Amino acid sequence: MSSSSSFSSSFGGSFNPDSTQPGHPFPDGSFLVALGLDADREAEFAPYLAEGLVAGRVSRVDRSTCDVVTGDGGTLRAAHGNGPLPCAGDWAAVAVPGRSRHATPDDEPVVVALLDRRTALTRSSASGRSEGQVLAVNVDAVLIVVPLDVEPDLGRIERLLTLAWESGAQPLVVLTKADTVDDAEQVRADVEAAAPGADVLVVSAVTGEGVDVLAATAAGRTVALLGSSGAGKSTLAAVLTGADLATGGVRQDGKGRHTTTWRELVPLPGGGVLVDTPGLRGVGLFDVQDGLDRTFSDVEQYAEQCRFADCGHVAEPGCAVLAAVEAGELPQRRLDSYRKLRREADWIASRTDHRLRTERARQWKVIHKEMRRNPSPKK
């Protein structure tokens, strides 16, 4: 099996997973353990291995091909195949010419199947497609990167938290560039109030503050970086991976230049991977009911005490949410943000439902037209 490039060099030869021991039940799987392979994934791969397919993890996706890291640390450039489009983080079964009957006519590797996705980080598609845009899959933790050199936008943090919670991964808010401000701890307290259930960590790549804690959190896991351009994602990635990643600097208006233009997996020393994503200017919500409930768990807690089950928390009598705001127990800003994101989520859901209904109607028209053109023979 030939590889288009080597992924293992990123570990500097220092990684030594248990699966390198003789008799390990997963053939050629030693390097995949470093990338998150576990016993359940091994069992899922078993029938594909029996067909002569190669197991791997998708590290990067291009228009019609993707890079798949295999058990020896090499990387296969494979066609997407006929199934769902691969995404960074997917576990894939690949047909390799000469080893499987699934090889493509062009005698090139091809992705035959993707294992079930445990988590999926998805936002509303800019093109308006009803299925949403998947940013990364099989992620254990989402690092929401927020720079301290400008005043944090709590509403945007809540939006990113909603995406992270909905994905099924554990969110962690990382406040970067702590060396540029004197009130980092006060800002952390404000962010913590807007992020119930999520940890908030203050980090500085210059002084090293918080870096050890962040590295320990990421070790052995699949973590995704999420945030705007200029938030310090590339610098954070360099610190975590030990690489010397070039950054594009920060413009005078505080907006960063896009330094990552695609999503890809980067190995972490000692095991685990980082999914680096491009800076997000806009973050549209997509099917985020559970994510909103988690992000605004404090609002939902009060909502359970409202007189009416369908209370809109606007002017209804017996509204516990409005009472909490009046009593100073719940910030008005939190309620305003909750209303805004709830309206957006409801609108996107209704738009998606309309598209699905329209598509179904179109399909039935085609079927009925074909039936009229070719009626069943009379008995």
Could you tell me if 46 and 85 are in contact, meaning their C-beta atoms sit under 8 angstroms apart? Answer: no
Q: Is pLDDT at 328 greater than 60 in this prediction?
A: yes
CATH of 5-114, picked from 3.40.50.2300, 2.40.50.140, 3.40.50.10860, 2.60.120.280, is 2.40.50.140
Q: Indicate if 296-361 has the same CATH topology as 120-276.
A: no
| Annotation: CATH topology of 296-361 | Ribonucleotide Reductase Protein R1; domain 1 (1.10.40)
State residue 228's pLDDT score. Answer: 82
In terms of pLDDT, which residue wins out, 260 or 175? 175
Residue 125: pLDDT band (50, 70, 90) is low
Domain ranges of the chain: 5-114, 120-276, 296-361
- Domain 120-276: CATH superfamily, name plus number: P-loop containing nucleotide triphosphate hydrolases (3.40.50.300)
In terms of pLDDT, which residue wins out, 363 or 74? 74
CA distance 39 to 29: 11
Determine whether 86 is exposed, middle or buried from the number of CB atoms within 10 Å of its CB (0-12, 13-18, 19+): buried
Residue 186: pLDDT band (50, 70, 90) is very high
State residue 276's pLDDT score. Answer: 77
State residue 277's pLDDT score. Answer: 74
State residue 140's pLDDT score. Answer: 96
State residue 281's pLDDT score. Answer: 56
Q: Is pLDDT at 32 greater than 50 in this prediction?
A: yes
Query: Under 8 Å CB-to-CB from 22, ≥6 apart: which residues?
Result: none
- The amino acid present at 125, given as its one-letter code, is S
